[in-house]
Structure 1
Amino acid sequence: MSEMNPYQQPTSDVAVPPQAAELVIGTAQKVSMGDAMSWFGQGKAMLAGNWGVMIGALVVLMLLNVAVQFVPFIGGLAAMFLMTLLYAGLVKMFYRLDNEGSVEFADLFAGFSEKTGPLVILALLQLAVYVGIFIVAMVLLFLSIGFDVSMLNAMEAGRVPDVGIGGGAIALAGLIMFLFLMAAGCLFYFSIPLVFLGNMGPGEALGLSFKACLTNLLPLILYGIVATVLVMVATIPLFLGLLLAGPLLAGAYYASFKQVFTE
C-alpha cells in the first residue's frame, strides 16, 4: 500500500473560473467592408439566450425617451442627457454579454452611477455642437436667399418663389450643412463607449472617435446603409420587427467598437 505524499502536486486538472477579458483600448484600427458586415453576426451571437432581457431594456429605453419629451420646456434637452446615460448602460450590457455571457437588466442604468460626470460633459458638448450647427444653418440660409424680401413674401403667400441663382446657393448651403452633420456624427459615434469602457475624458474620446470614423469611412457608410434598410424592413409589420432589429443593431454597434479599438 503506497503512502500519500502531502507535497505531491495534484494530477487532475483544477478548474479555474473564467475571467472576463480586460478591454484594452488602442489606436483606431482600419477594418474592411467584410468586417463591417460581420458585425451583425457578432451582435446576434452575443444575444443568444439573452434576447428577452435586451428587448426589455430597449423597450424601456424608448419609452423613457418618449416620456421625457413631454416635459415642458426642457423635454428635448433632458432627452439628450438621459439617452447618453442610458446608451452607456446599453454598452455595458453588451460588454458583459461579450465577456461573461450573461447580463442583468439593472445594467441599463449603469451610467447613472458610473462615469456619470464625464458622460454629462459629453452630452453638454453634443448639445453645444448641434446648437452651433443650427446657428450656422440659419446664417447660411439667410445668406443663400440674400435676404430677398419679395422671396419671403412669396413663401408666406403660399407661392413658390423664383429662386433663380439662389436655388444653387441653397443647394450649396445644404451640402455644407450635410458635411457639418457628418463631421458631428464622426465626433460622437464612438464617444460613449470610449468614455464609459475606455476610461477616457470626453475631449480625448471625441478626437479618437473622429479619427476612427475617418479611417473607416467607407465600411461605416456600408454598415449604415445596411442598418437603415434593416430598420425600414423591421417597421413594416406594425413596427414589431424593431423588437428584433433593435437588439441586433445594438450588438452590431458594440462589435464595431470592439473591433476598431480593442487589442
Structure 2
Amino acid sequence: MLFGYSEAKMEARKVNAANGWLWIKQGYWLFKKSPVLWVVLATIGVTGLLGISTIPVIGDPLATLLFPVLLAGYMCGCHALEHDKELELSHLFAGFHNNTSQLVTLGGISLISQMLILGVMMLAGGATLVSILMSGKPVNNPEILAQAATGAGIALMLGMALFSVLLMSMQFAPMLIIFEKMSPIDALKTSLLACLRNILPLSLYGGMMLLFMMIATMPVMLGWLVLLPVMISSMYAIYRNLFPTPTEIAMALEGEIITRDQ
C-alpha cells in the first residue's frame, strides 16, 4: 500500500498539447485575483536577484542559490490564491521558512551543473565562446560573438542539450520540495520525467510565452509588469495540472485496492 502511494505521488500525468494554452489562462486567472500585489512581489523579487548578482565574485552564485527559495515563496502565494486565501507580502519570504536547506541545496546542484556544462562546452571546442559568456561584459562587436559561436558548433549544440535537461529538471523541483517534501535529487528526477512526458504541451506553452515576451518588450517593456507575474503563476498552474493532489492520490489508491479485492 505504501508502494502504491509513492508511485501515485511520484508520477506526473500526461496531458494534451492544448493544455499549454490552458496553463497561461489559469496563470492569468491567479494574477487577476491580486494584480497590484503580484506586480509588487514580482518587481521586488527580480530587482533583489539582479541586485545580488551585481555583487563582485559571489553575486551570480549567490543569486543561483537563492532562486529556488524565492520561487518557492511565489508558489506558496499561488497555493494560497488557489484556496481563496489572500496573497501577502510575506509570501515573498515563505521559502526562507519552509524547507530552506533543501531549496538552497537545489540551487547548489543547479550551480554546479551549470559549471560542469560550461566545462564540457570548453572541452568540446567552445572555450572562446564560454570565456565571452562568463566575462559578464557586454559584447560591443556582434561579429566577435558570431565568430566564437561559429567556431564552437558542436560545443554550442551540446551545451543547449545539456542546459535543456537541466532546465526541465529544475522546472518543478522547488514545488515538489516545498509541497511534496521530496529530497532535491528525487525532485529533480521527478521534474525531468514530468517534462519529458509532456513535451508537446510544454513546447506550446514555451512558444506562446516567447510571443508574449516579444509583445511585452514593446515599446518600453511595461508589459513585463503583467507578463512576469503571469509567468510565475502559470508555472504553478502547470505543476498543479501535472501532479495529483493528496485527495486524488487517495482516491486512486482506494480504487486500486477495490480492484485488487475484486
**TM category, shorter:** 0.7 to 0.9
Q: CA deviation at 1:142?
A: 5.9
Asked whether the equivalents of residues 24 and 205 of structure 2 are also in contact (C-alpha less than 8 Å), the reply is: no
Q: Aligned pair 1:182/2:188, yes or no?
A: no
- Match in the other structure for 2:230: 248
Q: Which residue of 1 aligns with 2:41?
A: 57
Please state how far the C-alpha of 1:233 moved relative to its aligned partner: 0.7
| Equivalent residue for 1:42, pick from 22, 26, 30 | 26
| Aligned residue runs from structure 1 range 161-180, under 5 A | 170-180=152-162
* Distance change in 2, residues 1:77/1:142 (3 Å): closer
Q: Give the aligned residue type for 1:205.
A: A
Corresponding residue SS for 1:197: helix
Q: Is 1:84 matched with 2:76?
A: no
- In 1, Cα distance between equivalents of 2:13 and 2:191: 11
Q: What is the aligned counterpart of 1:236 among 212, 218, 227?
A: 218
Aligned equivalent of 1:259: 241
Deviation at 1:69, TM superposition (A): 1.7
Partner of 1:102, secondary structure, is: coil
Instruction: Judge which range, 119-128 or 93-102, deviates more.
Output: 93-102
Indicate yes or no: 2:54 matched with 1:70: yes
Structure 2 residue identity aligned to 1:191: A
Question: Offset of 1:131 from its aligned partner?
Answer: 0.6
Note the residue ranges of structure 1 that are not aligned, 5 or more in a row: 1-23, 144-158
Q: What are the ranges of 5 or more consecutive residues in structure 2 without an aligned counterpart?
A: 1-7, 128-142, 246-262
Q: How many residues align?
A: 223
Aligned-partner residue type, residue 231 of structure 1: M
The AA in structure 1 aligned to 2:108 is L
User: How far off its partner does 1:32 sit?
Assistant: 1.0
**Aligned mate of 1:32, from 4, 13, 16:** 16
* Cα 1:169/1:48, change in 2 over 3 Å: closer
Inter-CA distance 85–68: structure 2 relative to 1 (3 Å threshold): same
CA deviations on 1:37-67 (whole Å, 9 max, x unpaired) are: 1011111222233011111000000110121
Q: Deviations over 1:178-215 (max 9, x none)?
A: 21111111111111111111111101000000100111
SS at match of 2:32: coil
TM-score normalised according to structure 1 size: 0.78
How far the C-alpha of 1:228 sits from its partner, in A, is 1.3
The 2-side partners of 1:180 and 1:58 are apart by 28
Which residue is 2:90 aligned to?
A: 106
Amino acid at match of 1:61: G
Q: Identity over the aligned pairs, expressed in percent?
A: 26
Matched with 1:212 is: 194
Output the amino acid matched with 1:137. M
Match for 1:195 among 173, 177, 196? 177
Question: How much has 1:237 moved relative to structure 2?
Answer: 2.7
Given that 1:46 and 1:101 are in contact with CA atoms closer than 8 Å, whether structure 2 keeps it comes out as no
Contact 1:47–1:97 at 8 Å: present in 2 too?
A: no
Aligned equivalents of 1:115 and 1:142: distance in 2?
A: 38
Match for residue 209 of structure 2 among 208, 227, 233: 227
Q: Partner letter of residue 36 of structure 2? A: G
Change (3 A) 1:97 1:25: farther
Q: Which consecutive segments of 4 or more residues in structure 1 shift more than 3 A?
A: 167-170
In 2, the alpha carbon distance for the partners of 1:241 and 1:169 equals 37
Give secondary structure in 2 for the equivalent of 1:47.
Answer: helix
> SS of the counterpart of 1:33?
coil
Deviation at 1:99, TM superposition (A): 1.2
Structure number with greater Rg is 1
* TM-aligned CA deviation for residue 87 of structure 1: 0.8
Amino acid of the structure 1 residue aligned with 2:72: A
Counterpart residue number, 1:156: none
Greater shift in the superposed pair: 211-220 or 169-178: 169-178
How far did residue 83 of structure 1 move?
1.8
TM-score, normalised to structure 2, is 0.79
CA distance in 2, matches of 1:172, 1:63: 35
Letter in 2 for 1:86: L
